[in-house]
Chain A
Amino acid sequence: MGWINFEYYAFAALLLWGVGSVSLYLKTDKQGIGVRVPALFSAAGLAVLMLFILLLWLKIDRPPMRTLGETRLWYSFLLPAIGLVSFLRWRYKWLLAYSLLMGGLFLLINILHPETYDKSLMPALQSVWFIPHVIVYMFAYALLAASSLVALKAVYQDYRGKRWNTLPNLADNFVYLGFSFLTMGLLFGALWAKEAWGHYWTWDPKETWAFITWTAYLIYIHYRYKHQHRHKQAMWILLIAFGLLMVCWFGVNYLPSAQNSVHTYTS
C-alpha cells in the first residue's frame, strides 16, 4: 500500500484519461454522448487518483503534502479537475485534453521519480495552518497553470494566423480565481509563520519567490484592466508569470540563496 503500488492507481488513471481524451475527438451525431463519455472517463480517472490520495493519507498518517512528489500528486488531480469543470461549463475540448495531458505528465514524473513514503513530519509543519495553506496554494497553482495553457494556445493560434479572441477572457477567469487563492495562500503562510517561527515575513527564499510570483500576476491583472485590447502582450505577461511560478515551486531548492531556507524540504 502507499507509494508501494502507486503504479497501479497511476496506470488506471492514465488509461481512463487516455480513453477520455480520445473520445473527446471522436465524431458522434449525438451532442449528449460527445460530452458525457469524455466527462465520465475523466471523472473516473479523478476518482481513482483521489482514492489513492486518501489511502496514502491513511497509510502515512499525515497529510500527503510535504514532499514535492506529494504536491505533484495533488496537482495531477486538481488540474484535470479544473479542466473537467470548465469543459462541463464552457465546452472547451482542447482545455480538457491539455489538462488531462498535463495531469498525466505529472503522474508519469511520479512513477519515474518515486519518493520514500516517510511518515515523519517535522514539528514546524504540525499546525492547523498546514492543510489550508497547502490546499489553497495547490488550487492556485492548478488554476494559474490552466490560465497558462490558455495563453499558450492563444500565442500558438496567433502564430498560425487563426482567431483566438475568446481566449483572453477565459484566461482572465482562471487568473482572477487563481490569484484569489494565491493571495490567500500567501497570507495564510504569513499567519502561520508568525506562530511557528516568530515572524510573519522574513524574506526567506521561498517566501521571496512566492512574492515574486504574486506580483507577476498582479501586473497581469492590472495590465488587463487598463488595456482590454492589448491581448498579445497580456498573454506574454501570463507566460512569464507562470515561468516565475515554476521557479517558486521547483527551482528554489537549486538557487544559491536557498541553502539556509526553512522551507526546502527535499527528500
Chain B
Amino acid sequence: MRRNTWQAPWSYREGVIIGGGLVFLGVVWQVFLPSSGFQLPFWPGNLYMGLIFLALLFTLHFLLKSTSVVKWLASVPAAVTSAALYCGLAILLGIIPQGQSSGSPIVHVLGLNQLTSSWVFALANLYFLTSLGLATLKRLFPFKLKNLGYLLNHAGLWIALTAAALGSSDLQRLSMNCTEGQPEWRAYDGSGQLVEMPVAIELLDFQIDEYPPKLTLVDNETGRIAVPDKKNAFFSVADSSFQLLDYRVEVDRLLPEAGLIGDRFEPVNEVGSPPAARLTVTRLSTGDSQSGWVSSGSFRFQPYAFKISDQYSLVMLPPEPRKYQSDIRVMTQEGQQLTATLEVNKPLKLGGWKFYQLSYHADMGKWSDMSVIELVRDPWIPVVYLGIFMMLAGSLFLFRHGTYKKKGLENGLD
C-alpha cells in the first residue's frame, strides 16, 4: 500500500526529512547567530532545562499520545533515523580533528572543528533524547516486570546521556603545575584562563619508577634502527644476553646513574646522571669479541654510543616510566591539612573535587621537580553513573533476547 508523506503512520521518510530539517536549522543558526555555537546555562539553569524537558516528555506522552507525531517519535523509525543522524555526526567528529583551527573556511564557519558544541549537534541530541525518552515512557506506564530489561537499557541510556549533556556546563577540569616545596593555588582551565582555587597544593616529592632501558643497533650512516626484523629490534638490558643481527650482546655491568670519566662510566650521584651499561659484543660469524659502554644520556648529558663496526653502533634508549607519583600536601583556607599520594589511575577525592596525577616535566624525566595535577569537579556524575549502571544491568538482559523477539511477533509489530 502506498502512503503519502506526512500521512499516518509516519515512518522513515518523515524521519529523514525531520533529521535533514534539523541539520539545516542547525547550520543556519550556527552561521547567523552571534555566538559561535550552543551554550548551555550553568547550575541551576541546566537543572531547570532538564526539568522542563522531562515535563515536556511527560506532557507529550500523557496528553498527546494519540497524535501521529508522538506515536512516531516513540517508534523504531524515529529511533533509527535519530540514531543514524547521531552516528553520522559522530563520523564527522571521528574524521575532522577537533579543537584545532582548520585551514578550511567551511570547517570553521560550520563549527565542524568544534562539533560537540555546535547547534547541529545540540539539535541532533535533542531529537535522539526525545525519541528515546518517549520510547521509554511508552513501556514505563503501566509498569510490567517483563519490560525490566527494556527499561534498564532505555531509561539508563536516557539518564546517562541527558545528565552528561546538561552537566557539561558545570564540569570543571583544571590543571595545576606544582613545583616541589612551593604551595600552589593557581590553576588553569582548558583555554588557559587562571582560576584561583580555595585549596593550595604543595608538592612534597615527585617520584618516577622506570623500566630497565632498552638497547638496539643503529646504522652509523643513517642513524636508523638497523634490525629489519621488527620483533627482535630492541632488548631490555634486564634480558641479557641476546642477539641483534649477527651480534651477541652481553651486559657485563649496569649502572643506573653514571657519569663519563675518560672513556668509561662510573657510578655517580648527581642530578641528571643517566644509566649506562658495559657490553661485550661477539660477532657470531667470526667469533671476534669486543667491549664498550653505552649510555642513554639525559637532559644534562649526551647519549653515548658503542661503535662496534664501520657500519653499526649499539645505543641505549632513554628508560620508560613504569609508574609516577606525587606526594602532596593539601591545605584549605580554614587551615586544615592533609597529605596524600597521587598516582595515575589512583585519584584523590576531596570536597567535591578529584585530584589526578596528570604529567610532569617530561624532558627532565625522573629528575622532574614539577608535577602537573589535574583538578576535576563534575557535580552531575552520580546521575551519569546511575544511568551507566542501569545500562550495565540492562546489557545482561540481552543475553536472552529470544523472549523479546517472540513478544514482538505476538504483538504483531511489523
B340 interface residue per 8 A CB criterion: no
Q: Which one of B269-277, B301-309, B404-412 is at the interface? A: B404-412
Interface centre among B233, B345, B356, by most chain A C-beta atoms within 10 angstroms, is: B345
Whether A211 contacts B90 by the Cβ 8 Å rule is: yes
Whether B345 contacts A124 by the Cβ 8 Å rule is: yes
Number of interface residues of A (CB under 8 A): 57
Residues of A within 8 A of B396 (CB): 180
Whether B401 contacts A176 by the Cβ 8 Å rule is: yes
Residues of B within 8 A of A179 (CB): 398
- Smallest distance from the beta carbon of A183 to chain B beta carbons, Å? 4
- A209-B211 Cα distance, complex, nearest whole Å: 32
Residues of A within 8 A of B255 (CB): none
Whether A180 contacts B94 by the Cβ 8 Å rule is: no
Binary contact readout A253-266 vs B (1 if CB under 8 angstroms, 0 otherwise): 00111010000000
B95 interface residue per 8 A CB criterion: yes
Whether B90 contacts A195 by the Cβ 8 Å rule is: no
Residues of A within 8 A of B140 (CB): none
Binary contact readout B201-220 vs A (1 if CB under 8 angstroms, 0 otherwise): 00000000001000000000
Interface centre among A113, A119, A121, by most chain B C-beta atoms within 10 angstroms, is: A119
For A208, the closest partner residue in chain B by CB is: B94
Q: Which one of B49-57, B181-189, B387-395 is at the interface? A: B387-395
- Smallest distance from the beta carbon of B371 to chain A beta carbons, Å? 13
- A226-B405 Cα distance, complex, nearest whole Å: 10
A223 interface residue per 8 A CB criterion: yes
Residues of B within 8 A of A203 (CB): 93, 98, 116
A101 interface residue per 8 A CB criterion: no
- Smallest distance from the beta carbon of A196 to chain B beta carbons, Å? 5
For A195, give its contact among B171, B233, B347 (CB under 8 Å).
Answer: B347
For A256, give its contact among B75, B97, B356, B358 (CB under 8 Å).
Answer: B97
- A206-B320 Cα distance, complex, nearest whole Å: 24
Number of interface residues of B (CB under 8 A): 61
- A219-B164 Cα distance, complex, nearest whole Å: 22
B344 interface residue per 8 A CB criterion: yes
- A126-B345 Cα distance, complex, nearest whole Å: 7
Whether B323 contacts A123 by the Cβ 8 Å rule is: yes
A33 interface residue per 8 A CB criterion: no
For B414, give its contact among A126, A180, A190, A228 (CB under 8 Å).
Answer: A228
Which residues B124-144 have CB closer than 8 A to chain A? none
- Smallest distance from the beta carbon of B96 to chain A beta carbons, Å? 6
Whether A257 contacts B90 by the Cβ 8 Å rule is: no
Whether A116 contacts B234 by the Cβ 8 Å rule is: yes
- Smallest distance from the beta carbon of B239 to chain A beta carbons, Å? 9
A: which residues have CB within 8 A of B?
A: 3-4, 113-124, 126-127, 172, 176-177, 179-181, 183-184, 187, 190-191, 194-201, 203, 205, 208-209, 211-212, 215-216, 218-219, 222-223, 225-229, 252, 255-257, 259
B: which residues have CB within 8 A of A?
A: 75-77, 79-80, 83-84, 86-87, 90-91, 93-98, 116, 164, 171, 173, 211, 229-234, 236, 320-324, 343-347, 354, 356, 358, 374, 376, 378, 381, 384, 388, 391-392, 395-396, 398-399, 401, 404-405, 408-409, 413-414
Q: Shortest 5 CB-CB distances between A and B: which pairs?
A: A114-B231, A226-B76, A180-B398, A123-B344, A215-B87
